[in-house]
Amino acid sequence: MTTGLVAPIARYAAVGGLFREVGDLKRVRTADADGSMAARAFVRAWSALVSGADPTAVADAETAAAVAGARLAGIDATVLDEAGLSADEARDVLRRAIDEVAADVVHPATLDRLHAAPLPEAGHVAPPAFVGALCRQPRAGATAPGQARLIVEPPEDHGEHCWAVAVYGALLAEDHGADRGEAFLLGLAHHLHNAVLPDAGFAGETLLGEHLDGVVDRLTERVLATLPDGLAGRVRGLLGARADADTPLGATFHAADVLDRVLQTHHHARAAAFTARAALVDLELVHASPVQEHQNAVLDAAGLLP
């Protein structure tokens, strides 16, 4: 971290588990719609923004939904309503989920606004075409100049990554003294050029060489032209914060971005190392219940206990 900023080291140490669980919404799907919960939230956020919603209000609603979703997965306010819970009962469930994963983890002011946040709402118009393109554009993953690509399956998409950086940024904003709406909006928008440019990672950027900045700038402007003028101007003004970590917004963004990139790598490493023992012993797949003894006897007889 550069001079002039107080690095929230304690917060970074605290949020790793929370961010990992929030990031897992990239891999949670439900029967009622296509795409992961993360990709759907990315689309919903842009729909609200192009409809004229305030970025801070969108940030608050989407961040609260993401934190609750860390434990509730696809059980959101809409599902709770369809299941017959009253609005107050649903809010109690969502708040319980938020507290279970975020209490004593995020900044106290951040926790307060998670509790008070409205439910996320989609806008009244379809989002621009670049939003769907980013949800279809795979991330390159870890690449290095002069080395073969490391392929991991399934890859995340740019919509999922941008959503995660937006949420993490909003959750870290108070610690850096940044505006949470700006941090959220910058996270959503920081890969606009990849709506057109396939991702070849750092290796590809190195080979583009002296052409890289021009390519990124031209493609970004092409995408910005599809946004309402006011929103486009606001996004354009925020993108410059990517240049360094010398400002509260820049420090927030780069913390969120690097955390998501490395947490995604940790996910693939965990998936590759998964064992049946991890599910049966560590996660208690056959959990305590009136029939646990019978279930364990069945598994023991079948030779399936670790």
CA distance 197 to 216: 8
pLDDT of residue 7: 55
The CA radius of gyration of the chain, in Å to the nearest whole number, is 21
Q: What percent helix, strand, coil does the chain show, rounded to 5? A: 65, 0, 35
- Residue 265 burial (CB < 10 Å; 0-12/13-18/19+)? middle
5 pLDDT higher than 80: no
CA distance 36 to 124: 21
CA distance 239 to 165: 14
CATH 1.10.3210.10 boundaries in the chain: 9-141+149-274
3 pLDDT higher than 50: no
b/e for 218-247, b at 16 or more Cβ within 10 A? ebbeebbeebeeebbebbeebbebeeebeb
Amino acid code (one letter) for 73: A
For residues 161-176, give the mean pLDDT: 97
63 pLDDT higher than 50: yes
Q: Supply the pTM of this predicted model.
A: 0.91
pLDDT of residue 190: 98
Q: Where are the beta strands (DSSP E) in the chain?
A: none
For residues 184-197, give the mean pLDDT: 98
9-141+149-274 classified as CATH 1.10.1040.50: no
b/e for 110-124, b at 16 or more Cβ within 10 A? bbebbeebeebebbe
For residues 216-227, give the mean pLDDT: 98
233 pLDDT higher than 50: yes
CA distance 246 to 238: 14
Q: Give backbone dihedrals phi and psi of 182, rounded to 5 degrees, phi first.
A: -65, -40
The Cα-based distances of 156 to 5, 182, 197, 203 in angstroms read 32, 24, 16, 18
Quickly state the pLDDT bin for 124 (edges 50, 70, 90): confident
Tell me how far the alpha carbon of residue 86 is from its chain's centroid: 28
Looking at the DSSP bridge assignments, the partners of residue 157 are 138
